[in-house]
Amino acid sequence: MSARSKARKRALDLLYQADLRELSLDEIVRTEAARAAGEPDRLASWLYAREIVDGVHDHRDEIDGLIGDLAHGWTLDRMPAVDRAILRLASWEILHNPEIPAAVAIDEAVELAKSLSTEDSAKFVNGVLGRVAEQGGAA
């Protein structure tokens, strides 16, 4: 697994945890930063994971609004928490990280959905993120 893939998984874990436990991302990030500082093996993936989490936090209203508009028939509240976190993570990459091609962000998100959610979730994530890429001009 590449360093960026590991970072995405870590960012997903943090976003999911904050959402599910209704904790602030700042609190979750502080705890994870302390853990990463004590474990040098985790530091490489931590830097990009932190960038993702900070980016999602900074653009949360925009990202959630776009996902809500493009997830036909679904509200954010109806989505499984893991799917919501995956969509937020990948939407940030598509819209705000020009280093990551939209196709890569979408593929990585679909793989996360396949491994952590359901096959239906993978299709749903793929469809929503395809529309995010089109809307963001990154397709």
- Which domains are delineated in the chain? 3-135 (1.10.940.10)
* Cβ-Cβ contacts under 8 Å for 99 (sequence gap 6 or more): none
pLDDT at residue 76, rounded to an integer: 93
When pLDDT is cut at 50, 70 and 90, the band that residue 54 belongs to is very high
Residue 81 neighbours by CB distance under 10 Å: 16
For 59-81, write each residue's pLDDT tens digit.
Answer: 999 999 999 999 988 999 999 99
Residue pair 80/117 in contact by the 8 Å Cβ criterion: yes
For 88-132, write each residue's pLDDT tens digit.
Answer: 999 999 999 999 999 999 999 999 999 999 879 999 999 999 999
Q: Which two tokens stand for residue 55?
A: 């980016």
Share of the chain above pLDDT 70, in %: 92
Prediction pTM value: 0.89
**R_g (Cα) of the chain, nearest Å:** 14
pLDDT at residue 20, rounded to an integer: 84
SS3 (DSSP) at 129: helix
